[in-house]
Structure 1
Amino acid sequence: MDIKQLDERLSVSAQPGIDDIEQLAKEGFRTIISTRPRNETEDQPDTQVLKDKAESLGMAWHEIPVEPGNYGSTDINTFAKALQSSPTPILSYCRTGKRATHLWAYSQAKVRPIPELLKSADSAGYGLKALEDDLLRYQSQTNSR
């Protein structure tokens, strides 16, 4: 697995398989957040099997299924709560890791500078430059409430 760390709590990756779940537990991950809808593609591993395996190894499991580019405030807030309330370290995944990175950036936009988020994502290989204006807009909307 190609795991990329975004911050001190969260790393992201592409879709893990069942053997990867065991490896993640051995590496010390304590929580998994899936941002991929179940049955998104025919070649996708069975999410329930992955969840059961993770939980049997003592890991917490969250599912926040989102379509690419369709991040609603409920999804963002749920992701932020999962980050704050879950044992660390946390791994979030989707098909490629991009959606998980996008949700992380939106969830952190209220509390962290956008340039810092862009730099962290870029260092992990998930450039967010195309989302910069939207992240700034989201940040200003949430901070003005």
Structure 2
Amino acid sequence: MSNLPPMVHLTDDFSAAPQVSAEHMAALAAAGYRTVICNRPDAEVAPGEQAADIEAAARAAGLDFAVVEVTHDGITPETIAAQRRALTDLPGPHFGYCRAGFRSSVIWALAMAGDRPTPEIMAALARAGFAAPGLEQRIEALAAER
């Protein structure tokens, strides 16, 4: 599966990666992924890498697709809820992408608050190479709300 994009595996059900292309979709489907989640706003990408382009290729490869834009303005409760819905309502394993994989990983972590133990979430981020020192308290607060 040489056409798989570079990615980090946070769990058996979620991996994150930098921006993907339409050409990656068949390889993702062949690798067993069932849903692709775009966490990158269209304003950040070139023509041909817009969410609609990736979605068309994903659907052609038999994958479900969701757009949950994570902007640099911060992650809102609505964004977390939308990511949570995508992870719960659409079949896994899930594959998320953004510019570098970091936003997809962080929004996954926040969406998993209360479903997975916080130390497990933080360990998954650390294994992926993403240091997010202030995130643990936010995950705990979200978990307490659920």
TM-score bracket for the superposition, by shorter chain length: 0.7 to 0.9
Q: CA deviation at 1:75?
A: 0.9
Residue matched to 1:82: 86
1:101 to 102, 105, 110: 105
Task: Note closer, same or farther for the CA distance 1:10–1:16 as it changes in structure 2 (3 Å cut).
Answer: same
Q: Is the 8 A contact 2:51 2:67 kept in 1?
A: no
Q: Is the 8 A contact 1:118 1:129 kept in 2?
A: no
2:41 to 12, 25, 37: 37
Instruction: Give unmatched runs, 5+ long, in structure 1.
Output: none
Q: Select between 124-133 and 39-48 the one with higher mean Cα deviation.
A: 39-48
Q: Select between 58-67 and 2-11 the one with higher mean Cα deviation.
A: 2-11
Q: Is the 8 A contact 1:69 1:99 kept in 2?
A: no
Matches of 1:110 and 1:68 in 2, distance apart?
Answer: 24
Task: Note closer, same or farther for the CA distance 1:69–1:110 as it changes in structure 2 (3 Å cut).
Answer: farther
Spell out, residue by residue over 1:17-43, the C-alpha distance to the aligned partner (whole angstroms, 9 max, x if none): 121122212212110000111121447
TM-score normalised by the chain length of structure 1: 0.88
SS at match of 2:125: helix
Q: CA deviation at 1:105?
A: 0.8
Aligned AA for 1:6?
Answer: L
Over the aligned positions, Cα root-mean-square deviation in angstroms equals 1.8
Matches of 2:85 and 2:113 in 1, distance apart?
Answer: 14
Alignment length (residue pairs)? 142
TM-score normalised by the chain length of structure 2: 0.87
